[in-house]
Amino acid sequence: MFVLKKSKGDKIADGAIYTFLALFALLTLFPLYYVVIVSVTPYMEVMKNGGFIIWPEHFTFQAYKEIFSSARIPQALKITVFITVVGTVLNMAVTTLLAYPLSKKAVPGRNFILMGLVFTMIFSGGIIPLYILVRSLGLYDTVWALVIPGMVSTFNLLIVKTYFENLPPEIEEAAKVDGCGDVTTLFRIVLPLSAPIMATIGLFYGVTHWNEYFKGIFYLSDKTLMPMQVVLRSMIQTPNVSTELSVNSLALDTLPPETIKMAVVVVATLPLLVIYPFLQKYFIKGALLGSVKG
């Protein structure tokens, strides 16, 4: 077996590239590392080091204990989990049921519907008309105001439609010969073959719901319905963390505000960091296959 040997110049170039990538990776991961470290650093060490910690001598999880013993953070976390799970399920259901018929060229009015959907990507009614619509539908100050508006992303819909169009038509033809209808073909044949794109779009929708902020500040005035990102912003902006947490604890007087804020950032970020590695292979494959038409 012939093996091509790299020249000295190629080895130097490879070494420089790997070194650059390693430094870039460290530079990218350091902010996350810093947030986690500060969230578990005792008060005295934070003060002694002027707020900049690389590795603490002692660890404390008092900040996490305090934020979960409060009423604000667990409630905001429940709202965020609800809109992420329920919203993603509804998004996926509506997107799939709309993308499948639009992937069939024989569907009457298909081009007109596609043009209407693409039109919404270019032109929007604006924030005020959408706000008026949400109020008139009775969604204002309800958790459904974070879910129903924007139920379908046209971009995601077009990706799923393109993926369905790339599936071999012979598979669906064989299913129909066996007596399967359109609904049965979709759920028993098409969707199992579309796991990569379903995972990709599900991740898109899920991340969007988890990071929901804009709708929270526009459509909600009840603090008990605020999602995690809105609460996090309020905590970062206020110097009095105890007011935001709504607790009376002596520990909040001995913990630096930055430690508590960093702990909330970790709580708001950790679920996505845990879930993403399990969907990464589907995400990459789905993004590539669903974005082009062969």
DSSP symbols for 31-78: HHHHHHHHHT--HHHHHHTTT--SS-SS---HHHHHHHHSSHHHHHHH
Superfamily of domain 66-294: MetI-like (1.10.3720.10)
For residue 278, the model assigns a pLDDT of 74
Beta carbons within 8 Å of 254's beta carbon, 6+ residues apart: 43
C-beta of residue 154 within 8 angstroms of C-beta of residue 203: no
Q: Are 165 and 103 in contact (CB under 8 A)?
A: yes
Q: Quick one: tokens of 228?
A: 């995690």
Residue 76 has φ and ψ, to the nearest 5°, of -65, -35
Task: Give the three-class secondary structure for 228.
Answer: helix
pLDDT at 182 (0 to 100)? 83
Structure tokens at 111: 């081009």
Element (H, E) at 160: helix 154-166
Q: What pLDDT was estimated at residue 88?
A: 94
Distance CA 251, CA 101 (A): 58
Q: What is the pLDDT of residue 293?
A: 46
pTM as predicted: 0.80
Tell me the two tokens of residue 144.
């459904």
Three-class DSSP category at 239: coil
Q: Where are the domains of the chain?
A: 66-294
Of residues 102, 128, 97, 129, the one with CA closest to residue 115: 102
Q: From CA 128, how far away is CA 15, in angstroms rounded?
A: 55
The tokens for 249 are: 């604890």
How does pLDDT run along the chain (294 residues), one tens digit per residue?
445 567 777 778 888 999 999 999 888 888 888 888 888 877 677 667 666 777 877 787 888 887 888 788 889 999 999 999 999 999 999 999 999 999 988 888 888 998 988 888 888 778 888 899 899 999 999 999 999 988 888 989 998 998 898 888 888 888 888 888 888 888 888 888 888 888 889 888 998 999 898 898 889 988 888 998 888 888 877 766 665 665 544 455 556 677 778 888 888 888 888 887 776 666 666 555 544 444
